Copies of this chain bind each other. A is one copy, B any other.
Amino acid sequence: MSEATNEEGLIIYRHEDGFEIKLNGSALISHTTDQPLLYVGYGEETMEMYRGNFDIQDYVIERLALRHAEWKKQGEAEFVTFFNAKGGQPYLTLSLEQEAHGIRLAFTSEQSSINRVWFRVASDAEEKVYGCGEQMSHFNLRGKSFPLWTSEPGVGRNKKTYTTWQADVLDKAGGDYYTTNYPQPTYVSSKKYYCHVETTAYADFNFTKPNYHELQIWGVPRWIIVEAAATFVELASLIADRFGHQPELPEWTYNGIILGIQGGTGVVEAKLERALSKGVKVGGVWCQDWQGKRITSFGKRLMWNWRWNPEEYPQLDEKIGQWKKQGIRFLGYINPYVAVEGDLFQTAKAKGYLALTEQRDIYLVDFGEFYCGVVDFTNPEACEWYKQVIKENLIDFGLDGWMADFGEYLPIDLTLYSGESAKLMHNAWPVLWAKINYEAVKEAGKLGEIVYFMRAGYTGVQQYCTLLWAGDQSVDWSLDDGLASVIPAALSSGMVGNGLHHSDIGGYTSLHGNKRSKELFMRWAEMGAFTPVMRTHEGNRPYDCWQFDSDDETLEHLARMTEIYTLLSPYTKAMVKINAELGIPVQRPLFMHYEEDERSYDIQYQYLYGPDLLVAPVHQEHETSWTVYLPEDEWVHLWSGAKYTGGFIQVEAPLGKPPVFYREHSSYKELFREVGQL
């Protein structure tokens, strides 16, 4: 804490009336009596959950400006204690710690009753912010508030769509622009710093104010850290170092698409055969219902007892080996709940591995016409047992991957083994769930051979999750819920260190008359070819949705897309490696490599795929040409070879030829040219 001559990076200045943390010479975090840094208070929240959808309201009883600050030094460390008024009681103490790339503000609460903290970070009209986990409606978060609470995203996330309204009124299942399976109290600024709040409490980041951001936390956070870098690429590495790197993807994933098929061994064989005969390159088959299924009013649902169901999948044990010889892996499904009808529930119940109600009964969660117990991940023995379930029932059985579903449903009124508050563990749950999967795979010696994909996340999921999937999109063209929404999802989660992203090709949710069209499926497959993993999903109502094998044209189009995907794989693989090593995501916003280009900061439906490809998926219906923004560079249109130097351009984009451009000076130029010949 000293006057510095160097104005670069983050530096703390102390002055008579407070202090200032400057970023490259401008105030970022500052405190004075008139402009206090912190507000604290007491609130009474109401939180209601209905099948993973939350209705959260707050009533703030007191909100006090902490105007008065006092300093003290203990050894090397300096502490600032904050008061509402001089001579009153202290509320919070911060220790300010200068680190290699940033500054950490560690919090100590001086009043145990405080359950609301508001922390301000200076901003200006030009700044843009990104991240906050996986955000699907807005990439640049400026101008809105973002509640950070893992939940179902909702069937419709735009209150102005008829689908959302129906979901709200009929099922209490409508979402909003901020609802996500994967929130994270971390944002990245266009000023090339990131700010992270270490907490699992409910938080709400308010980016609506012209001069500051206000970070609200329902509890005193452990610390807040800001780190800065000279470039976005370097900042990405700092972020990955903070939250963890993903391993590389298994080699076999590059063999082709993972086909989502259900219905039993015979159906899988027949559909696989047909796909292969049409030239579709297949890396795996993914059968959610490998452990059985049930039918509910929502659609086809799974049995939720995590072991092979030989009635549904006869001879699967042998088949898995045969398929593997063909270069086709078998993937399944698991989640952190066990259905009451299954033997796993009985075991967990007998051993005390399930979370309890306040009255110490087994807590049963309503998943829509069936009930499940919650494996209590705060109980180390329960974790070991569930890892064992994964190892024995999934890995040893021969699975090379699975959807590790859910994680965002932890009810807030259950009693946990550790005695921790469910309200505080709710956001932590997806990470505990990821960790179980990670450790099971690692302990089985299969890291880098197995891939599991998750939708739920929170701070730290980066290091435990081998692949994100974008959750349950609607099978439509809506910006907030359909194909388009996957792009900001990939970009925002990438900004906070999740470098591997993919989505259900064709989307998932088909409700209220929403049915997947052939064109949507095809456009989604086109985007999928330019993501690390290609995978289809039948959807929740398969018979209402166009499928990969619904006609020959679709199969032929998919064959072309898988050919592109596999041909491109040396490049993709290199990008995945860079992500593993340096933490630079595979899908990147345009400004990551063109930071001087002001327009690039608001482009949320295009992405750079590595540094050398620019992908602008056609996300609207009935389009045969598409407007693309190119930052200034030398670009070559992948299919026509036409050259461009930047700006808004219009290109032909018939089905099968999505708008993709490569950098003329890429070292992969020959590979791209070859792909363009397809």
Residues of A within 8 A of B (CB): 39, 41, 60-65, 84-85, 87-88, 160, 162, 165, 168-169
Contacts and interface: CB of A to CB of B under 8 A. Distances in A.
Contacts of A168: 160
A62 B61 contact: no
A63 B65 contact: no
Given A60-B63, A63-B63, A162-B165, 18 more contacts: A39-B61, A39-B62, A41-B63, A60-B60, A61-B63, A61-B65, A62-B63, A62-B64, A62-B65, A64-B64, A84-B84, A84-B85, A85-B85, A85-B88, A88-B88, A160-B168, A160-B169, A165-B165
Given A63-B61, A64-B62, A160-B169, A87 B87 contact: yes
A50 to B, nearest CB: 15
A91 to B, nearest CB: 12
Contacts of A88: 85, 88
Contacts of A165: 162, 165
A32 to B, nearest CB: 15
A62 B85 CA distance: 13
A165 B167 CA distance: 13
A65 B41 CA distance: 10
A479 to B, nearest CB: 15
A39 B169 CA distance: 36
A168 B63 CA distance: 33
A616 B405 CA distance: 54
A62 B60 CA distance: 10
Contacts of A64: 62-64
A600 B60 CA distance: 35
Copies in the complex: 2
Q: Name which of A41, A87, A165, A169 has the most chain B CB atoms within 10 A of its CB.
A: A165
A117 to B, nearest CB: 14
Contacts of A41: 63
A169 B165 CA distance: 11
A160 B166 CA distance: 9
Nearest to A160: B169
13 contacts: A39-B62, A41-B63, A61-B63, A61-B65, A62-B63, A63-B63, A64-B64, A84-B84, A85-B85, A87-B87, A88-B88, A160-B168, A165-B165
A61 B39 CA distance: 8
Contacts of A62: 39, 63-65
A169 B168 CA distance: 15
Contacts of A61: 39, 63, 65
Nearest to A67: B62
A41 B61 CA distance: 11
Contacts of A169: 160
A39 B162 CA distance: 41
A64 B62 CA distance: 6
A60 B88 CA distance: 22
A162 B60 CA distance: 33
Contacts of A63: 41, 60-64
A544 B214 CA distance: 51
Nearest to A169: B160
Nearest to A161: B169
Nearest to A42: B65
A168 B168 CA distance: 15
A165 B156 CA distance: 14
A61 to B, nearest CB: 7
A637 to B, nearest CB: 39
Contacts of A60: 60, 63
Contacts of A160: 168-169
Interface centre among A61, A62, A84, A85 (most CB of B within 10 A): A62
A-B residue pairs, 9 tightest by C-beta: A63-B63, A160-B169, A165-B165, A62-B65, A85-B88, A62-B63, A60-B63, A64-B64, A62-B64
A190 B534 CA distance: 65
A345 to B, nearest CB: 36
A65 B40 CA distance: 13
Contacts of A87: 87
Nearest to A164: B165
Nearest to A158: B169
Contacts of A162: 165
A65 B85 CA distance: 14
A77 B196 CA distance: 55
Nearest to A118: B61
Contacts of A65: 61-62
Contacts of A85: 84-85, 88
A173 to B, nearest CB: 14
A359 B425 CA distance: 54
A63 B169 CA distance: 34
A65 B89 CA distance: 14
A65 B63 CA distance: 9
Contacts of A84: 84-85
A63 B116 CA distance: 12
Nearest to A209: B59
A376 B65 CA distance: 40
